[in-house]
Amino acid sequence: MPGHASRPATSQRGAIAVTATFFALALCGVAVTLFSEVASVKKLIDRGEANVRALEAAETGIALAEEEISSRTDPGGDGIGNLTGTYGGARFVVATVNDPLITDQWTLQARGTQETGSRQVEVRIRRVPMVLWSYGMLSQSSITISGGGTTDSFDSRLGTYASQATKSDRFGTYASASGPVGSNGTILLQSSEVRGDSNAGPGYTTTLQGVANVTGVTTSLTTAVVIPDTPLATFTAAATVNDNGAWFTTGGTSYDSVTKTLTVAGGNTITLTKSTYFFSKIILSGNSKLMIASGPVRLYVTDQVDFSGGQIVNATQSPANLQIFQQPYALPTGYTPSVKTATLSGGSSSAFVFYGPSTPVTLSGNGDIFGAIVGKSITASGGSRLHYDRAVVEQLDDGHAPIRRVYWRDLAPPLR
């Protein structure tokens, strides 16, 4: 009897097992289908996202390479414009080639990779040197060099001028015969030498008198160089927020905080310790010195710069570290410029750049000036020796030359 009673229970368990198996298989089928669909969709989405991230990485690499080319720096030591790195988990490699014929143009190829995504972008750029600082002297109206004055050039990044001044001619020793002068008007050389090109303005010529010489060409410019004023906003900002008073002085210093007039006399030295100064007049007399120990220091002057009785001492030896801007704006408030001239003098450490497109500039004495000068007119009658620093064309504007893109292209855009 117990054996008979168990038979129906066994067959019922079989039916339930079959039914359960059927449902389980059906559910498994649905689950597998859904899972494969989700996996397929995820794969598509991942691929799209990887492509986007790869492009972002490639563009990041391009931007970093452009920065290197703009500043002519090579932090990685693998050549300017060549670099590798990661961005957002994607990797990029940039290879740059400087056009051997058009040397201011560069071709950058960047590859970005992220898992299954890969993008390759090519960019051609042009490095635009700042014409304003391509000359040792540049003027709006005229340049006159007389009394044995000379120009040449050196590169302050390569060491001191003295270490580069290994050549000589009848005007003395010099570093490199690439110290050009340019003007939108006339250029007159009297018993002086320009070691480099002398480019007078359109319709004007370079005139040589006495034992004068130009080692380069004397071709006149075909179009005038645009020499813009320093913006009023820049001067206003400097007049409003500046570091006036942040200096050390050995004495003999007079400063009027209302008119912003600074005079240093009696052979004293004033050392500027901050970065931005604003004056209506700054005057050195009695063999006084204006000194900087680090830079860049920017001086904004509205009325008069007179260093004829003293000299600049730039301990960094880098002209870009002392930038003097002069523009006859009616600043500070209530002040009206009346002199509106600049008289600069040389010395063994007179390294600076001067930018005053509305200012008649006089170079006094026969000292050495290291850097570059832009003025309305420039007169050097005492035999000044201007040593143009080729580095300033790279170093000014925070050491960057503007980059212009010639083109951008996607070498292998992912299509369908």
Residues forming the site for other proteins (CB under 8 A): 4-5, 7-8, 15, 19, 23, 26, 30, 34, 37, 41, 44-45, 48, 51-52, 99, 101-102, 105, 124, 126, 405-410, 413-416
- Residue 106 or 154: which CB sits closer to other proteins? 106
End-to-end Cα spacing for the chain: 75
- Residue 48 or 251: which CB sits closer to other proteins? 48
DSSP codes, 297-328: EEEEEEEEEE-TTEEEEETT--GGGEEEEE--
Residue 230 to residue 228: CA distance in whole angstroms: 6
Nearest approach in angstroms of CB 397 to other proteins is 23
- 283: tokens are 């005057």
The H helix count followed by the E strand count for the chain is 4, 28
Nearest approach in angstroms of CB 130 to other proteins is 19
Nearest approach in angstroms of CB 270 to other proteins is 49
The closest alpha carbon to 219, from 176, 177, 182, 178, belongs to 182
In sequence order, what are the residues at sequence separation of 6 or more whose Cβ sits closer than 8 angstroms to the Cβ of residue 85?
Answer: 60, 61, 64, 91, 92
Beta bridge partners of 123: 108, 408
Nearest approach in angstroms of CB 60 to other proteins is 14
- 63: tokens are 């931007």
Nearest approach in angstroms of CB 266 to other proteins is 57
- Residue 99 or 256: which CB sits closer to other proteins? 99
The amino acid sitting at 345 is: S
Residue 212 to residue 146: CA distance in whole angstroms: 9
| Phi, psi (degrees; rounded to nearest 5) at 133 | -105, 20
- Residue 167 or 405: which CB sits closer to other proteins? 405
- Residue 34 or 211: which CB sits closer to other proteins? 34
Nearest approach in angstroms of CB 16 to other proteins is 10
The amino acid sitting at 229 is: D
122: Cα within 13 Å, side-chain hemisphere: 8
Neighbours of 1 (CB within 10 A): 5
- 186: tokens are 């006339």
- Residue 57 or 290: which CB sits closer to other proteins? 57
Nearest approach in angstroms of CB 116 to other proteins is 14
Nearest approach in angstroms of CB 105 to other proteins is 5
In sequence order, what are the residues at sequence separation of 6 or more whose Cβ sits closer than 8 angstroms to the Cβ of residue 361?
Answer: 139, 341, 342, 343, 344, 354, 373, 375, 376, 377, 378, 379
- 259: tokens are 């008119």
Tokens 């030295």 found at: 269
- Residue 399 or 414: which CB sits closer to other proteins? 414
Nearest approach in angstroms of CB 178 to other proteins is 23
Tokens 């120990």 found at: 293
- Residue 129 or 413: which CB sits closer to other proteins? 413
- Residue 165 or 403: which CB sits closer to other proteins? 403
Kind and range of the H or E element at 120? strand 117-127
- Residue 9 or 226: which CB sits closer to other proteins? 9
Nearest approach in angstroms of CB 87 to other proteins is 18
